[in-house]
Chain A
Amino acid sequence: MMPLINLPSIIIVNILLILGVANSESAYAKTNQIIDIAYLTQEQVVPPSLSNLDPFIKDKGVIGAELGIDDDNTTGKFIGQQFNLKRIVVPIDGNIIRVFDKEISKKFQYLVINLSASQATQLVDLPAAKKMLLFDVGTIDDALRNEQCRSNVLHFLPSRAMRADALAQYMMKKRWTKWFLVVGSRQEDLLFANALKRSAKRFGLEIVAEKTWDHTYDKRRTAQSDVGVFTQLEDDYDVLVVADEQGQFGEYLDYRTWVPRPVIGTQGLAATAWHKTHEQWGAIQIQNRFKEKAHRWMEEQDYAAYLAVRAIGEATTRTKTNDLSKVKEYMLSDSFALQGYKGNPLSFRSWDGQLRQPILLAAPRSLVAVAPIEGFLHPKTELDTLGYDQPESLCKWNKE
């Protein structure tokens, strides 16, 4: 079936290719607008891990931002806009505020932050930060979207409440109405457990038992027998719901429970903004482009940072301006629609700056469902069945 190799014709084709690409350069517009974006993160201490299967990824987030810049510039070159990304990584023992003052303050309008909730909280109220638009691609805290919300911050990762609602919708559909909630002892685990309790109440599901996993995390000791004993309950339950964000014990639960029950939550079937098993709605294309660039799978923070940079691109391209107030107004308007490879157009909730988006429910090697689950209805958009809807929101920045 292969045609015989014909050398001269290959050379001709190659020449044509070069001419072709060179030729279409003339279709590009002259650069008349430069949009500078800063990306701020801090080096992370490698956390303890259960296994070597998933190597620690140092550059989660930033490669997504870089891919976003590539895509912005592809559009930009046709209409005379140029997007630049400055990547700033603060060393582990460095001071974020100091780095911000020195390298970012007064130099940038757009700042993508991949920081912890406490670091982000310190940063957002700085007078210089108040004059910028911050794109949070690192936190999932509901407090930052409610009581502690700030009008200069947009959030790209789904909050814990959104994730818990996504899981609860799926469990409701499966009629797994009786939950056994297992919670780790870290602060984040408690926050996620609270989100799960909120969802259970919201969707009328019952938590028949709740236990804290405070055993030793050493697998060589009695993990297997521990889980068996730990999961013996007086009341029967349909599903074990786990809150272990760091992954310190959750992986031990599946297949080891006293009675055979599925595991869902932070392990087993998990809720996430992005997953390597996701291929629908053109996702395979961005998975391929990302892997080619990063030589690894796209993580949630990469996806969030990609969307943040693309949101800046989309808004500045559509408004044909780099004026921050106009760009922000457009982003929060009904006209804004960001393509996020998850079927629905993505947009921001005007009441708390959260990006509304579908949430993937994924097992390690299989995409199980995409929330909002069919049948959960909303008068405006079904995406707002996930997380804090406008009437429930505690964010007051609209009334500032």
Chain B
Amino acid sequence: MKNKYLVFFLIMALNATVRAESVFVTLEKDNALAVIDPIAGKLIKTVPVGQRPRGIAISPDNRSLYIATSDENIIKILDVETLKEVGRLPSGEDPETFALNPAGDKLYVSNEDDSLVTVIDIAKKKVVKQITVGVEPEGIAVSPDNKWFVSASETTNMVHWIDTETNAIVENILVDPRPRAVKFTEDSQQLWVTSEMAGTLMILDVKTRQIIKTIKFQVTGLTADKIQPVGVVIDKDNNRGYVALGPANRVAVINAKTFEVEKVLLVGQRVWNLAFSPDQKRLYTTNGTSNDISIIDLENQVVTKSIGVGSYPWGVVVKP
């Protein structure tokens, strides 16, 4: 009986997701993954994935999803089509955020409770190395040219530059308080880092590894301490970057050439993480406390829709 339904739903799901792009959102409090059709503007389904799912990534070939189920201390591998678990990676304790390298064969995980970054060989499902970093590492990113990966530690307030060949720290840069997310530009020339407590975005030059610009966000009508930048993405052509401002309920649009804040767009409550559509014409935001995602039309710079998805949407990835 149950299986029949499952097959039925799977076929439905396959039909629905086969052509249009799909947005996958981890639901921290529902222990589930939401699958959304952003073109139709509909939540297609939610599937259970394990306890407290947060970080999520999709493999470069778009076949596998990686999901950190933090309370199970594991990263699960799901088949994108069936959304069934096909494997597990040893992530170390309390995995929250992680990053894939461009080849998609290595995964770098922040272990927040242990002040460690774990390097995992995906094919072998083995830990290659653990690197001691600052207290409460969170944001993590690999440069598109695969030379660097960086880890930001929230309590130590540092960005640790780690060489991908040696897996050794090369430099530690003090940044504004409670750095959250880190993101390289597509040309691997800059690293963008958000600071939750200072309300800033810092741009670091990859060559010198130093801060070259700090942008302090302001929103009319909001006190400074409500503006807590978290997720950050930059478009492929390096024209614009977007920063989620957390409890300010807004996404800032930044000119990536002049570093001016062009606009702030009102989205859902406690906006957390961001992801582009494959054509980069839309931006999807997870809104932690309003339990929805917002869709931003980037050509017109307007929020077009919000879709209820479940409790505490956290991470977001898009499959073409």
Q: Which chain A residues have a beta carbon within 8 Å of chain B's beta carbons? A: 1, 3, 9, 13, 16-17, 19-21, 23-24, 26-27, 70-71, 74-75, 78-79, 282, 285, 288-289, 314, 317-318, 337-339, 343-345, 378, 380-383
Contacts and interface: CB of A to CB of B under 8 A. Distances in A.
B178 interface: yes
Contact of B130 (A17, A288, A343, A345): A17
B105 interface: no
B157 interface: yes
Contacts of A70: 135
Interface residues of B, number: 42
Nearest to A75: B156
A13 B225 contact: no
A20 B225 contact: no
Nearest to A379: B223
Contacts of B38: none
Nearest to B200: A337
Nearest to B125: A3
A29 B129 CA distance: 22
A24 B131 contact: yes
A74 B168 contact: no
Contact of B168 (A23, A318, A380, A383): A23
Contacts of A23: 131, 166-168
B171 to A, nearest CB: 8
Given A78-B160, A344-B225, 14 more contacts: A13-B126, A23-B167, A24-B133, A24-B169, A27-B160, A27-B169, A71-B135, A71-B155, A289-B113, A318-B174, A339-B154, A380-B223, A381-B223, A382-B223
A215 to B, nearest CB: 45
A389 B143 CA distance: 47
Interface centre among B127, B198, B225 (most CB of A within 10 A): B225
Given A20-B129, A27-B168, A343 B247 contact: yes
B212 interface: no
B292 interface: no
Nearest to A377: B223
A78 B158 contact: yes
Interface in B229-278: 247
A343 B166 CA distance: 37
Nearest to B76: A1
Which 6 A-B pairs have CB atoms at the shortest separation, nearest pair first?
A27-B169, A345-B197, A78-B172, A20-B129, A75-B156, A344-B225
B197 A16 contact: no
B220 to A, nearest CB: 13
B168 A345 contact: no
Contact of A21 (B130, B157, B178, B223): B130
A285 B225 contact: no
Contact of B174 (A20, A24, A79, A383): A79
Q: Which residue, of A339, A382, A383, has the highest number of chain B Cβ atoms within 10 A?
A: A339
Contacts of A289: 113
Contact of B115 (A3, A74, A79): A74
Nearest to B168: A23
Contact of A337 (B169, B170, B197, B247): B197
Interface in B150-168: 153-158, 160, 166-168
Contact of B126 (A9, A26, A27, A381): A9
Interface string B98-141: 00000000000000110100000000011111111111100000
B130 A381 contact: no
